[in-house]
A and B are shown apart, each in its own frame.
Chain A
Amino acid sequence: MTHPSQTTLALYAGQDLGWFARRRTERHLAHCLECRMEVRKFASVSEELAGLNELPAIPWNRLASEMKANIRVGLAAGECVRPEPAGGLAAWVSGARALAACGGVVALLAAGLFLERPTPAPPEMASGSAVLRATADGIELNQGGQTLSLRHARSGNVTYSAGAQGSMRAGYVDADTGNVTINKLYVQ
């Protein structure tokens, strides 16, 4: 499967794609979890940036305008001192550029082969009743070979308890938030 580029996904997340590209990207996203996750990440970053814009102490918008103006000045100055291009096909196909271009083509082919390689057979989906258990990094519900796990990442001192009505609980102090967190899985 060919995935849209990161740029396309970022533009999609920001609703900045044109109609046709948007429709094409949507068709891909409907079937591709990986890209949906990327879009979600871009969208969440964009939300956080919007929040930053509202910080009262820092005049982000004024800073942005100044930076844009400085960039324009820099580009204009660059145009003034830019030497005339050497021109000719030989300059393009010579030396390092040609090597880089060939390398890019090879990398593209290798990536294509890797992505489209024959995948191994699916893991055997065991049938039977749902089982809850504690694992090294959390608690897990396994049903027919599909699993749902709640994990405690880097947090230590985890306590586990089982409920005979079909539940499993893990309690710990989250290393990042500092909050006591209690994860629980249920099976009916």
Chain B
Amino acid sequence: MFSKFAILLAAAAALSAQDMPLDPVKINLPADSPLMLVSENLGESHVSRRGSAVVLDLDVTLTLHNSSANRVRGVTLLVSAQEVTPGGKASVSAPSLDVAPNQNFPMRINLRLLRPAQMGGGQLVQVNLDGVLFQDFSFYGPNRLDSRRTMTAWEMEAQQDRKYFKSILAARGIDGLKQAMLESLNRQAERPRLDVQVSRGPAVGSAAVAEHNARFAFLHFPDSPVEPVEGWAEIAGNEARNPRIDVRNVTSKQVRYVEIDWIVSDRQGQRFMAGSVPASGPAFNLKAGGTSRVLQDTTLRISKDGGAPLSIAGMTGFVGQVEFADGKIWIPNRDSLANAQLLGILEPSPEEQRLMDLYRKKGPKALADELGKF
């Protein structure tokens, strides 16, 4: 009798647990995290229906607290919605931070999910901490998205950019800084933009468009630890597929990650930044002095800003980032990029974006004060 009663109780408890509603979004920070969640503000978040699909508009601002003894320079959050996009994931990063110990700072996640209404309940969106980068380049986090490398490279770019603008301020004063900022702003305003779509797996292009193998031309930087040797991609109209690039390690250290930046040009000779071709993982083995292949099974469909397909006439590549097996990272320096006339093609670094925004909103004096903090 007692055992039957116990089973009944257990079943009721199980049913109750099954029915227990879960939040649409869940923020998970590890117990030993250097960041603490102070509050989350759901702002204008709402759910609406479109036919029999449900649209979740999530606009959440998290207030995080730096409970470590070190200044925070960058944070990456992993956002997953496995139920909606199996295999797909997202991240939201805040680079170029300068958060002192015991200070609070905001991070905003603004996303939209569209999914069938008949899918089950439960948590739609999970937010996990992927990594925190500190001022001394130490790192905390599970690093599932390789955010240690990404945020370290951003911070190295930030240091380069601040050094560049500080040197101008020292040499030419506030007027010189103003001039340099105007040049940056003009470059970004005039930077040719492309609309690029990325899809993985076998290409499904139009059979009517002739396909051919096009060869990469390469730009070489004198201090690059890895040299591109040769490379091709399949071109069909405005689609570039399956890039493969052979690279040689010219150092005495093993390399575990290489990223080749990819520029395409149209028939008028105008150059556009199309994307990057990274290589890492067990299949990519670049020993000291050795050669390996950067290879991606992917299709980029490229249109000009406004939607007109871009007829690809040429391709150029250069080494944009290298990570050695010991975790050290190399990026091209600002002089190399300027000498190769790439500054007008590449997107600005996150730090240069921040400094330009500061200049636009508060003027050259505030910018000079900001540079003086570092």
Q: Which residues of A contact B (CB under 8 A)?
A: 26-27, 29-34, 36-37, 39-41, 44, 47-48, 51, 119-123, 125, 128-134, 138, 141, 143, 146-153, 157, 159-168, 171-174, 176-188
Q: Do the beta carbons of A143 and B59 come within 8 Å of each other?
A: no
Q: Do the beta carbons of B39 and A44 come within 8 Å of each other?
A: yes
How many Cβ-Cβ contacts under 8 Å join chain A to chain B?
241
Extra A-B contacts (14), CB below 8 Å, given A37-B45, A185-B88: A30-B20, A33-B56, A37-B42, A131-B198, A146-B114, A159-B348, A161-B347, A162-B196, A164-B298, A165-B296, A173-B357, A176-B108, A177-B108, A182-B94
Looking at chain B's contact residues, the main secondary structure is strand
CA distance A150 to B102 in the complex (A): 29
CA distance A31 to B121 in the complex (A): 5
Q: Do the beta carbons of A173 and B45 come within 8 Å of each other?
A: no
Looking at chain A's contact residues, the main secondary structure is mixed
Q: Which residues of B contact A143 (CB under 8 A)?
A: 85-88
* Nearest chain A CB to B345 CB, angstrom units: 12
Q: Which residue of A has the minimal Cβ distance to B118?
A: A122
Known: A119-B52, A164-B296. A179 touches B88 (CB 8 A): no
Q: Do the beta carbons of B90 and A186 come within 8 Å of each other?
A: yes
Q: Which residues of B contact A47 (CB under 8 A)?
A: 39-40
Q: Do the beta carbons of B20 and A44 come within 8 Å of each other?
A: no
Q: Do the beta carbons of B19 and A26 come within 8 Å of each other?
A: yes
Q: Which residue of A has the minimal Cβ distance to B298?
A: A164
**Chain B 262-300 per-residue mask, 1 if CB under 8 angstroms from chain A, else 0:** 100000000001111110000000000000000010101
Q: List 10 A-B contacts (CB under 8 A).
A: A33-B56, A123-B53, A129-B199, A130-B87, A132-B197, A134-B195, A149-B113, A161-B273, A162-B274, A177-B61
B164 at the interface (CB under 8 A from A): no
